[in-house]
Structures are given as structure tokens and as C-alpha cells.
């Protein structure tokens, strides 16, 4: 079952098109990441899906409820949680009081509120600060309170807009592990992030947005689609005889970096032994053979560069 279904979703602000003809789906229980440069439309997309701003055209459904329908919009708000890029807490209240207030807004029973507030503040390492006013908190601590606030009513779907942007490395790790724990509990999670390493670690699939949706796939498949399957053969010493033997087998592409041969192949498992044998037959001494991976950062930058 799809938790989110988006078809031709578009948002214009006057003459400016912020989001252009977006179409994608997010399955129930999936962690979906939306990547893109500043101004790409990531936050606008989340705001539309959370019923905070209206769409210009197109359609979107959350758990079967339709955006733009008054009764459905209320139902959507009840089943989602949002951690926005601007946390917007009540500074004069304590962390506990902030969460209790929002729990009451969502009509959570008192016993459930108390249980969940304690659970989340302990999970996010804030329980010892529960009675301190939020105004005394660092940006990272406020971000953690905002994450707990989004979860207080036990939503099925969570939207995170840059969830670890203000956190130190240790706190960011706590939040990442927390997100993966939520996934194990069956939550569907939609994340906007600039942190490519984070996206690669926690997202099942990734969409790259630059006003238009450029591509959607798992990090691994996205890399293969952009770069192909690449093999690196490191030899002790490169020479023209080795290079000629490799070229004779006609790889999809070939490049040489000092004593390393980089090949793009249609079927590496089938073709790699032939290329290894060709190098050996040409007198080459192989030091190692490995699959060459680009990583999400290189893949993302190449996709964005190709749209310029």
C-alpha cells in the first residue's frame, strides 16, 4: 500500500514555479528522502503534503485522503507529524510543558501523554532537562524537542525537514538511530535533507528534486543508473600492451589512472574474468580487482550538473 501518492503536483508563487509537475509514490513503512539544492522546492513539497499551503494544480493523496478536500485535510493532519525547518516552540515553557500542550491539542489522553513524553525525552537524551525553559536550550536541543512534539500523538506518517541540521555529530547519530527505530515500528518517514551521507544511511529510496523531480530510486540503484557498473583493475605497472589487450574486449567505457584501469561493463560478473585474463596474458601483474562505487554525493552532484 502507498502512504503517499503524488501526481503532477505543481505549486506556483505568482510567476515563479516552485514545484513543477511532481509525480511519485511512497510506500507504507518506507523511509523516503528528497534531496536537492536550496530553492529546489523541497520545503514547498512538504508544506503542500502537510496541508499547510494549497497546491496550484495536480493531485496528492495521503493514506487515501485527498489534498484540497476540507474534511480530508483534517484527517491528514491527524495522521501526520511534522518537524519543520523552523522548530517554532513556546520558548517560555519547559520541554515537558511544550509536549504536554501539543499532546492536549491532539486530544491525547493524559496517561498516554505522560508515557510518551517521558519515553521520547529519555530516548532523545533530554529527560534531565524536562523542566528547563526551552529558551535556555541550544538549537540542537530545540530540534530534539520538535522531533518529540511531532511524535506525541503517535502519527502513522512523519515529515522531517532537515532533521539533523542543527545537531552535533553525537546528537545527529541519536536522531538517525531514532528514525530507524521508528521505521521498525512501521512508521512511514519522509525526509528533506542536504546531508547525503545521512540519506544514504537511512533512506530506502531517494528522489532528487530541482523544481522538477529528476530521478527516484534506491541509493544503490541510483548510483548504477548514473555511473553504470564499474570495475577497477590495479596493475603493478601499466604499459601499452596491457591497454591494447583490454581495449580489444570492447568495454562500454575505459579510462586509466596511473596504474589503474577503470572499466564500465554491461555484466561485470560475466565479463570481469575475461578482462583479468587479458591483463595477465599481456604480461600484467594484478594487485587487486574491485567494484568501483561512486557514493551518493558524486551521484547527486552528477545528476544536478546534468540539468544545468
Q: Is 305 part of any domain? A: no
| CATH number, domain with residue 153 | 3.40.50.300
Task: Verify that 196 and 249 share a domain, yes or no.
Answer: no
Q: Is 23 part of any domain? A: yes
- For the sheet containing 2-13, what is the strand order? 16-27, 2-13, 57-62, 65-66
Determine whether 215 is exposed, middle or buried from the number of CB atoms within 10 Å of its CB (0-12, 13-18, 19+).
middle
- What mean pLDDT is predicted for residues 272-281? 94
Task: Verify that 86 and 40 share a domain, yes or no.
Answer: yes
Task: Specify the pLDDT at position 284.
Answer: 93
pLDDT higher than 70, residue 58: yes
pLDDT in tens, 61-78: 999 999 988 889 989 999
Task: Verify that 117 and 266 share a domain, yes or no.
Answer: no
pLDDT in tens, 137-163: 988 889 889 999 999 999 999 999 988
Task: Verify that 177 and 230 share a domain, yes or no.
Answer: no
Task: Specify the pLDDT at position 308.
Answer: 67
Q: Is 67 part of any domain? A: yes
Q: Is 306 part of any domain? A: no
Grade residue 1 by pLDDT with cuts at 50, 70 and 90: confident
Task: Specify the pLDDT at position 122.
Answer: 92
Domain edge (last residue) among 173, 189, 217: 217
Number of folded domains that form the chain: 2
Domain that holds residue 33: 2-217
Task: Verify that 134 and 21 share a domain, yes or no.
Answer: yes
Q: Is 304 part of any domain? A: no
Q: Is 308 part of any domain? A: no
What does the alpha-carbon distance between residue 108 and residue 99 come to, in Å, rounded to a whole number? 11
pLDDT in tens, 206-245: 999 999 999 999 988 887 777 778 899 999 999 999 999 9
Task: Verify that 211 and 238 share a domain, yes or no.
Answer: no
- Neighbouring CB atoms inside 10 A of 184's CB total 8
pLDDT in tens, 30-46: 999 999 988 899 999 99
Task: Verify that 169 and 238 share a domain, yes or no.
Answer: no
Task: Verify that 142 and 176 share a domain, yes or no.
Answer: yes
Domain edge (last residue) among 169, 184, 217: 217
Task: Verify that 142 and 198 share a domain, yes or no.
Answer: yes
Q: Is 300 part of any domain? A: no
Task: Verify that 191 and 243 share a domain, yes or no.
Answer: no
Task: Verify that 54 and 180 share a domain, yes or no.
Answer: yes
pLDDT higher than 80, residue 79: yes
Task: Verify that 177 and 112 share a domain, yes or no.
Answer: yes
Domain edge (last residue) among 197, 217, 237: 217
Q: Is 43 part of any domain? A: yes
pLDDT higher than 80, residue 166: no
| CATH number, domain with residue 243 | 3.30.70.100
- What mean pLDDT is predicted for residues 127-136? 94
Amino acid at each position: 500500500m502507498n502512504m503517499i501518492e503524488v501526481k503532477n503536483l505543481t505549486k506556483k508563487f505568482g510567476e515563479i514555479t516552485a514545484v513543477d509537475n511532481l509525480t511519485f509514490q511512497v510506500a507504507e513503512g518506507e523511509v523516503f528522502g528528497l534531496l536537492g539544492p536550496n530553492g529546489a522546492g523541497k520545503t514547498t513539497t512538504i508544506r503542500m503534503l502537510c496541508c499547510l499551503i494549497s497546491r496550484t494544480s495536480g493531485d496528492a493523496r495521503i493514506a487515501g485522503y485527498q489534498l484540497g478536500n476540507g474534511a480530508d485535510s483534517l484527517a491528514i493532519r491527524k495522521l501526520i507529524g511534522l518537524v519543520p525547518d523552523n522548530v517554532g516552540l513556546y520558548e517560555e515553557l519547559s520541554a515537558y510543558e511544550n509536549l504536554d500542550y501539543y499532546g492536549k491539542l491532539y486530544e491525547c489522553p493524559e496517561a498516554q501523554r505522560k508515557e510518551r513524553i517521558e519515553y521520547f525525552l529519555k530516548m532523545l537524551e533530554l529527560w534531565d532537562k524536562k523542566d528547563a525553559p526551552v529558551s535556555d536550550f541550544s538549537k540542537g536541543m530545540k530540534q530534539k524537542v520538535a522531533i518529540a512534539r511531532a511524535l506525541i500523538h503517535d502519527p502513522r506518517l512523519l515529515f522531517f525537514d532537515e532533521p539533523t541540521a542543527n545537531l552535533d555529530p553525537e546528537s545527529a547519530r541519536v536522531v538517525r538511530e531514532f528514525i530507524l527505530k521508528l521505521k521498525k515500528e512501521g512508521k512511514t518517514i519522509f525526509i528533506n535533507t542536504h546531508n547525503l551521507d545521512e540519506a544514504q544511511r537511512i533512506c530506502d529510496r531517494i528522489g532528487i528534486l530541482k523544481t522538477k523531480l529528476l530521478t527516484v530510486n534506491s541509493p544503490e540503484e541510483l548510483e548504477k543508473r548514473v555511473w553504470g557498473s564499474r570495475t577497477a583493475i590495479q596493475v603493478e605497472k601499466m604499459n601499452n600492451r596491457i591497454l591494447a589487450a583490454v581495449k580489444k574486449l570492447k568495454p562500454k567505457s575505459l579510462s586509466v589512472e596511473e596504474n589503474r584501469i577503470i572499466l564500465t561493463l554491461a555484466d561485470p560478473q560475466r565479463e570481469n574474468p575475461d578482462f583479468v585474463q587479458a591483463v595477465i596474458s599481456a604480461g600484467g601483474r594484478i594487485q587487486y580487482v574491485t567494484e568501483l562505487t561512486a557514493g551518493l554525493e558524486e551521484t547527486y552532484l552528477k545528476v544536478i550538473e546534468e540539468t544545468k
